[in-house]
Amino acid sequence: MTMIKKTISLLIAALAFVHASASNWQVVPSFLGSKTQNVVDMGDEVYYLVSGSLYRFDKSTKENESLNRANYLNDVVISNIYYNDYRGYLMVVYDNSNIDIITSEGDIINLPEIKAASLTQSKTINDVNFTPEGRVYLATDFGYVVLNDKKWEVLESRIFGQKVNSVAEVGDYMLVSQGTDLRYGKVGKHYETIGSMPKVTGKVSNDGGRLRALTDSKLLICTGWTYIANVSVNEAGEVVANIAESQPCKTDNLQATPSGYLLNCFSNNCYLTLDATGSNFTKVDAENQMYSAYKGGDGTLWAVGDNGLHQATDNANFYKPTALSFVTPFHLTYNNAQRLLYVTSTGSNAFISAQNLPTGVNTFDGITVKDVTPTPTIENGGSFYPVFSASEENTYFMGNWWNGIHKVTGGKVVNNYNWENSPMEHALGGYYCSPIIALDKAGNLWAAQSSAPAGKSIFVLPQAKQAQKAVTASDWITVNVPGASPSKFSVLTMLRSSNVKVFSDGTFGGSLFFINDGGTPSANPTTKSYSSGSLFDQDGNIVNWNNIYTLTEDQNGNVWMGTNDGVLVFNPADAFKSDFRLHHIKVPRNDGTNLADYLLNGIAVSHIAVDASNRKWICTNGSGLFLVSADGTTVISQFNTDNSPLLSDVVYRVCPDPYSNAVYVTTSNGMMIYRTNSTPGENSFSNVVAYPNPVRPDYYGLITITGLMENSLVKIADASGNVVKQLKSVGGECTWDGTVDGAERVKSGVYFVFASQADGSEAAVTKILIVR
């Protein structure tokens, strides 16, 4: 038997690392009321877990705050939260068995021992129970662990090699839920195997149930139904349990209230109450909401649902956090005309196999998230990314896994191009119609349909036809690209520097295609294709690839190609020449050997984006995010889950903001913003701006002041002229955390920003409105 370590360390050093490295990172959480998981009123604050994101609401300031790995927490994917009303702390349990404790003072204690334990079987924590004496029972996939929460040390670890659903202490006995069995044992006694614990007798029902002790002789059993069982010990010393009451509701969580207990049954649109003796079920309708009341309070109920958090009796004031309205952000597309980032979900692609993810479209201006998901609801979901019309205001096109292309104007779906009004076919026996789309320089809409017949899979809708309400198949041009057989892995890139279109069909070992129509779409443009193994690099080596995942044009007109085996670069103007070659970028080792390595050799590159300095931001499928120099020969930064708050090493997309120092990132665990620490210095102070501005109550990130001259001295003063902060710009930028010298947050008001150069000349260059 392997034992979990006896002493639990309070990882102060690790916590300091998270806070220190997190200053440039911000999580953009998700809030989807239909995925509410738990809500806990802790007195001064209400914590609530919705769609995997944990929020904290301060009752006095009315401020919402997202708690995550970039600010307070020590891990990413939260499986559930559990409140200990005896000691007043919240236990945050993660899907990898890591644990954080949030104390009533807001301090964070990390308990990583189960996560770090060397066990061959799953270590998933299935349930948590607390006792007044300070024992904490953790039911796991390998057995159970008992903690002492007064010293944060392990009292027992029982590694049975079998899943335990729940453990609760009733009187002098532990009750253990394991499959359909309900077993028991004396508190503190050692049991080598789960089979050595006797089964509870009596009339009781259990099917993987979660257990809660109501009194020393009363047990709550939560399966698909909710049962109250009276627990006793017979003359033979056996534990007996008999059902006393039941409700046909699935209880998600149990909380003590001033008058008894509250049981949320979210999927049944109700909650149950019990009196102080743990008896007498009362059912209360509660459509799509969860409820909580602080045990030491006056009985006021707080509720969470689609509209946010509110007092249950107040349906006029809701507190909804700034968050995405869906849980699977994938694509990032910047609309320069609107100065807005569009964040969307996805259809099935190279990295996500799901075909029915609900369509989600949100915009983000750097401060506020707005849900602009088109209406009516797109049936079956599976939508990709927006391509913005060049001629129609507030209009974009969006490919869809099932139904071709949707045209959206003003947030409304106004047209759908599919097998009925385009050359696209209902592929795979009428199963789906999935195109990859792009707009060329002239505003023509290109579509490459997955699984369509070779040579009949690429189509163009000319710009002049796009405004028509009634579009027919004859309005489209079928482009003959010999050998092209698109798949859901296809990539279609329109170049800004020429009329060449670059296309990868996405098949395993598939080809790279070049299409030149001279700027006017035609049925038979000039084409050229190269298969894996048919090209050489600059040193004469044969280049092979299994998959091409991204094709991105940089500011010099070169195309950066991300593959399953790193990065290749080529000049598309040379693609139609007989000596066309790919370029393998070499990164010098700088170790005195004059040797170099291919850029990201052996690493799957999922996406590449180019920033204003022509540097490349490179997403990988398992190795995090890279920033490399404009020519790729220098790796400036690598961010991964070990050295940064990055939510996952599987990074889907990256998008540098063209108007700020923000870099937007989507990962397999959600969306983040990384704020770079410098921008080029300006020649004067005439273009200084601060953002976000105004600073709203729910914003806890850094305030950026940009447009400064090189190495400016920056002073921030309140309306009375008192300097609250002094900063030094890095290049043309500096950041402020909104506090007085890193201590308390400044109060509401207008704050003036003064900047000066070495000669002492000073000017009031901008002001910041802060609202608390």
Region 514-527: mean pLDDT is 95
Calpha distance 540→171 (Å, rounded) = 78
pTM for this prediction: 0.86
- Residue 23 binned pLDDT confidence (cut-offs 50, 70, 90): low
Whether 604 has a pLDDT exceeding 70, the answer reads yes
Residue 502 makes CB contacts below 8 A (sequence gap 6+) with 491, 492, 493, 495, 512, 513, 514, 515, 551, 559, 572, 575
From 727, 732, 716, select the one nearest 683 (Cα to Cα): 732
- Are residues 484 and 503 in contact, defined by beta-carbon separation less than 8 angstroms? yes
CA distances from 626 to 71, 76, 221, 587, 764 (A): 22, 20, 49, 13, 38
- Are residues 418 and 400 in contact, defined by beta-carbon separation less than 8 angstroms? no
Report residue 197 as tokens: 């614990």
- Are residues 566 and 606 in contact, defined by beta-carbon separation less than 8 angstroms? no
Residue 679 makes CB contacts below 8 A (sequence gap 6+) with 661, 706, 731, 732, 733
Whether 109 has a pLDDT exceeding 50, the answer reads yes
Please report, for the chain, how many H helices and E strands are present, in that order: 4, 64
Class of domain 532-676: mainly beta
Proportion of the chain above pLDDT 70, given as a percent? 95
The alpha carbon of residue 57 and the mean position of all alpha carbons in its chain are separated, in whole angstroms, by 20
- Residue 440 binned pLDDT confidence (cut-offs 50, 70, 90): very high
Residue 577 makes CB contacts below 8 A (sequence gap 6+) with none
Specify which residues 270 forms β-bridges with: 265, 285
- Residue 687 binned pLDDT confidence (cut-offs 50, 70, 90): confident
Region 291-296: mean pLDDT is 97
Q: Do domains 532-676 and 689-770 have the same CATH topology?
A: no
pLDDT given at position 428: 67
- Are residues 477 and 522 in contact, defined by beta-carbon separation less than 8 angstroms? yes
Reported for 636-644, long-range contacts at CB under 8 A and 24+ positions apart, including other chains, are 639/674, 641/76, 643/21, 644/21, 644/25
- Are residues 59 and 44 in contact, defined by beta-carbon separation less than 8 angstroms? yes
Q: Which residue has the tokens 């690493």?
A: 603
Whether 12 has a pLDDT exceeding 80, the answer reads no
Proportion of the chain above pLDDT 90, given as a percent? 81
Region 329-340: mean pLDDT is 96
254 vs 454 pLDDT, higher one: 254
The HSE-up count of residue 75 (CA atoms within 13 Å, CB side) is 22
Residues 358-382: pLDDT tens digits? 999 999 998 899 999 999 999 999 9
- Are residues 692 and 727 in contact, defined by beta-carbon separation less than 8 angstroms? no
- Residue 459 binned pLDDT confidence (cut-offs 50, 70, 90): very high
Whether 418 has a pLDDT exceeding 80, the answer reads yes
Region 6-17: mean pLDDT is 36
pLDDT given at position 742: 66
pLDDT given at position 5: 43
201 vs 205 pLDDT, higher one: 201
pLDDT given at position 404: 94
Whether 695 has a pLDDT exceeding 70, the answer reads yes
- Are residues 448 and 503 in contact, defined by beta-carbon separation less than 8 angstroms? yes
Q: What is the DSSP letter of 453?
A: P
pLDDT given at position 7: 38
- Are residues 514 and 500 in contact, defined by beta-carbon separation less than 8 angstroms? yes
Q: Does domain 689-770 have CATH number 3.40.190.10?
A: no
Report residue 34 as tokens: 């239909």
User: Over 56-89, what HEC string results?
Assistant: EEECCCCEEEEECCCCCCCCCCEEEEEEECCCCE
- Are residues 118 and 125 in contact, defined by beta-carbon separation less than 8 angstroms? no
Residues 216-248: pLDDT tens digits? 999 999 999 999 999 999 999 999 999 999 999
Residue 133 makes CB contacts below 8 A (sequence gap 6+) with none
Report residue 99 as tokens: 């644990």
Q: Which residue has the tokens 């659903």?
A: 165
Q: How crowded is residue 2: how many other Cβ atoms within 10 Å of its Cβ?
A: 10
Sequence spans of domains, the chain: 532-676, 689-770
Residues 58-87: pLDDT tens digits? 999 999 999 999 999 999 999 999 999 999
Region 539-551: mean pLDDT is 97
Region 111-134: mean pLDDT is 96
The mean pLDDT value of the chain amounts to: 92
pLDDT given at position 22: 53
Whether 18 has a pLDDT exceeding 60, the answer reads no
Query: Helix or strand or coil: residue 661?
Result: coil
CA angle (198, 203, 207) in 5-degree steps: 70
pLDDT given at position 6: 38
Whether 400 has a pLDDT exceeding 60, the answer reads yes
726 vs 762 pLDDT, higher one: 726
Residues 24-63: pLDDT tens digits? 899 999 999 999 999 999 999 999 999 999 999 999 999 9
pLDDT given at position 414: 97
Calpha distance 209→226 (Å, rounded) = 9
- Residue 8 binned pLDDT confidence (cut-offs 50, 70, 90): very low
- Residue 729 binned pLDDT confidence (cut-offs 50, 70, 90): confident
631 vs 428 pLDDT, higher one: 631
Calpha distance 187→155 (Å, rounded) = 11
Region 646-672: mean pLDDT is 95
pLDDT given at position 192: 92
Whether 1 has a pLDDT exceeding 70, the answer reads no
From 577, 576, 575, 578, select the one nearest 558 (Cα to Cα): 575
CA distances from 703 to 661, 737, 751 (A): 11, 6, 12
Region 179-187: mean pLDDT is 96
pLDDT given at position 686: 84
pLDDT given at position 743: 72
361-377: buried (b, 16+ CB within 10 Å) or exposed (e) per residue? Answer: bbebebeebeebbbeee
User: Residues 383, 646, 730, 369: is their CA dihedral positive or negative?
Assistant: positive
Report residue 749 as tokens: 């008001």
Report residue 618 as tokens: 């490179």
- Residue 678 binned pLDDT confidence (cut-offs 50, 70, 90): low
Calpha distance 326→364 (Å, rounded) = 14
Q: Is the peptide bond before 692 cis (omega within 30 degrees of 0)?
A: yes
Sheet (strand 270-275) strand order: 253-257, 260-265, 270-275, 282-285
